[in-house]
A and B are shown apart, each in its own frame.
Chain A
Amino acid sequence: DQQVKQNSPSLSVQEGRISILNCDYTNSMFDYFLWYKKYPAEGPTFLISISSIKDKNEDGRFTVFLNKSAKHLSLHIVPSQPGDSAVYFCAAKNTGNQFYFGTGTSLTVIP
């Protein structure tokens, strides 16, 4: 049973525009949500996180929004750059520090 879902397997945006990646989850007990960037045959690298007690966290070009009532989070990248092209995974952490990942969204930023 997939507790974290990313329904868009791929996304293409023009350089300079906004990229919006979406993620839904089912377990209301998750206490932290994170976004990771991953290149093929490499481990994921941390991008940005948000506590379940917040609804927004911003770090430079990256902003994560959390809507707890909808069990939905999103990652906004603005402006998008070609170097942002990668697979993005959202992850949710439970109080046991176990992470559950979505299936990933492949972002392509077109120059």
Chain B
Amino acid sequence: GAVVSQHPSRVICKSGTSVKIECRSLDFQATTMFWYRQFPKQSLMLMATSNEGSKATYEQGVEKDKFLINHASLTLSTLTVTSAHPEDSSFYICSAFIRGGSVRTEAFFGQGTRLTVV
């Protein structure tokens, strides 16, 4: 099946620094990618929709100046957490959507990135 690769899998950074997370579709072109965040024992929360060549669309309550999303190519979207604080510590996951030839519809997910801000 399709593969979405996310890097890094774990990152620890100091408070006030910025962290970039990459999401790549390895064997397909993804015009749209999605970024999610998961707090412990909670659901995956959609943060933003990343569209290739245009600005990302953010969900209500997500600070677009803090979570910068760039989708410069059909295979790469990046999420940059700027001026990170301990409350930004979370599990971040990207996904890319594929519509198959049949009625099956899937979103493929990256492995996730565990961000810890100290």
Contacts and interface: CB of A to CB of B under 8 A. Distances in A.
A98 B109 contact: no
Interface residues of A, number: 26
A46 B106 contact: yes
Contacts of B104: 49
Interface residues of B, number: 27
B105 A98 contact: no
Interface stretch (A14-22, A37-45, A66-74, A77-85): A37-45
Given A42-B111, A43-B111, A103 B42 contact: yes
A89 interface: yes
Given A43-B4, A93-B107, 16 more contacts: A32-B105, A34-B106, A36-B109, A41-B114, A42-B112, A43-B112, A46-B106, A46-B107, A49-B104, A51-B105, A93-B105, A97-B32, A97-B97, A101-B36, A101-B45, A103-B43
Contact of B93 (A4, A43, A93, A98): A43
Contact of B103 (A51, A93, A101): A51
B67 interface: no
Given A34-B105, A41-B91, A43-B6, A99 B46 contact: yes
Nearest to A45: B109
A37 to B, nearest CB: 11
Contacts of B34: 98-99
